[in-house]
Amino acid sequence: MFLGLDIGTSGVKAMLVDEAFATIAVAQAPLTVSRPHPGWSEQDPQDWIAACEAAIAEIAGAHGDALAKLQAIGLSGHMHGATLLDASDTPLRPCIMWNDGRSGQQCLDLETRADFRGIGGNIVMAGFTAPKLLWVAENEPEIFEKTAKVLLPKDFVRLWLTGEHVAEMSDAAGTLWLDVANRQWSDALLEATGLTREAMPALVEGSDVSGILRAELAETWGVPRVPVAGGGGDNAATACGMGVTAPGTGFLSLGTSGVLFAVTDRYAPNTDEAVHAFCHALPDVWHQMGVILSATDSLSWLSEISGRTPANLASLLPARIEAPSGLGFLPYLSGERTPHNNPDATGAYLGLRRVTQLPDLVQATMEGVSMAFADCVRALRLAGTEIEAAYAVGGGARSDQWLSIMAAITGLTLLKPVDGDFGAAFGAAKLAAACATGDISAAVFAPPNADREIAPDADLAAQYAPFHELYRKSYGDLAAWQSGR
């Protein structure tokens, strides 16, 4: 048996799988986010521990015999969170989360201090860990002075499990302190933030042993003292669960936000287009991500203002999409990452007429989000990564109409996996298996079977082709409108 633990923003998920990766048990425990000021987002690290205890206790209570056969534990978690510990490993303040935006000025400062783009592979954004620490140094100097270790959220859970300060490559790349090409901490990037390697955890690969489960926890849960795998950041762990671990493979996540994830055999940044370039959770592979901030959230927004559920809105469209809506939609409702890196970008509908009806807006919304994903495809290709097909996951992937629009606009062939849970907890469990067995082959990281393949419709793609350039041009026009020029 293998246990995967995923520390999510809204809850902890524990998944127990057997040696064939069949799910034996799943348990979840909720988490809350504190927002003490506008733009702030924080969590109490001890809440992660309490949630893990609750989820594992639930599995132990219902499936104790299966859990007793445990061979390894794997970890996943939301990335970029700044968890500051003193010399006794006590958190000094709440964790500053991935979606915290307070460090905008610090981002600008760090860009001038070191080659974060060249070494770290990414634009300095408020979501990353490094600018958060500079914010603490400038606004909470007494906390900064006491900081002995900086851990990512899942690595604080690892500390509780094993007593070890350890991180792995995929999550560490999201701090902006990692030399991503060479998979080691960068002294130059740390120095720019007023830190040294002494404040950093040791580094392992996601499939490596990071420590051994503490005796008291093993006794409490009725399990052996098993190894704990390095694990992965949430997107890398999801890729491991999907079997997206070799160059030429990828997934498209159509969730609240959107991610286009592609595996590479080399470090391949494209900061000009705001592509994220990270290490993967397995040795000798990297990955790129195009990220959009309002994917299904765009349809959720339309749902809120129309008084209809997202599913009801989707049902307004014909079963087969045969032509563009004729409208434009820029889905920048919460700013945008790829390719604009503009947290202040705003959205818009274009081409509205008196005869425009709600179904037109629904289709235009799906088209605009798909145009944003086409921008991600373009950005990855400019970084040298050709991607032709991707697994489609996330809530939006339940809409066949949306996937047909997405395929026509992006040019990607989209694969719908068979029903199952292939998320971050499942990927963490697979990394646990790799840790226990030493096997990082496709025997462990096999892709799911696809029960549908949505190839681009040539006629529909030809109709959409001229609209993408208009969409790209509209961003600049709207920016001028927003600024009053």
The residue assigned the tokens 């958060």 is: 132
The contacts of residue 156 (CB under 8 Å, 6+ apart) are 45, 48, 49, 83, 85, 91, 95
Cα(404)–Cα(321) distance, integer angstroms: 7
Judge contact between 221 and 52, C-beta under 8 A: no
- Mapped onto helix, strand or coil, the DSSP state of residue 84 is strand
Question: What tokens does 5 get?
Answer: 């633990």
How many Å separate Cα 293 from the centre of its chain? Answer: 11
Known active-site residue 439: no
- The distance in angstroms from the start CA to the end CA of the chain is 62
The residue assigned the tokens 């109490």 is: 44
Residues facing residue 389 across a β-bridge: 413
The contacts of residue 477 (CB under 8 Å, 6+ apart) are none
* Phi, psi dihedrals of residue 394, rounded to the nearest 5°: 100, 165
Q: Is the link from the previous residue into 224 a cis peptide, with omega within 30 of 0? A: no
- Mapped onto helix, strand or coil, the DSSP state of residue 148 is coil
Q: Apex CA 420: angle with CA 417 and CA 423, to 5°?
A: 90
Cα(269)–Cα(287) distance, integer angstroms: 9
Question: What tokens does 415 get?
Answer: 């694969």
Residues facing residue 91 across a β-bridge: 85
Cα(22)–Cα(368) distance, integer angstroms: 38
Written as one string, the DSSP assignment of 384-409 is T----EEEEESGGGG-HHHHHHHHHH
DSSP state, residue 23: E
Question: What tokens does 481 get?
Answer: 């409108």
Q: What are the angstrom distances between the C-alpha of 461 and each of 26, 290, 387, 406? A: 41, 21, 17, 10
Query: Which one of 6, 100, 179, 234 is the catalytic residue?
Result: 234
Taking each helix axis from N to C end, the angle separating 358-382 and 400-410, rounded to the nearest 10 degrees, works out to 40
Judge contact between 160 and 100, C-beta under 8 A: no
Cα(91)–Cα(45) distance, integer angstroms: 7
Quickly count: other Cβ atoms within 10 Å of residue 65's Cβ.
Answer: 8
Written as one string, the DSSP assignment of 4-15 is EEEE-SSEEEEE
Q: Which residues are catalytic?
A: 234
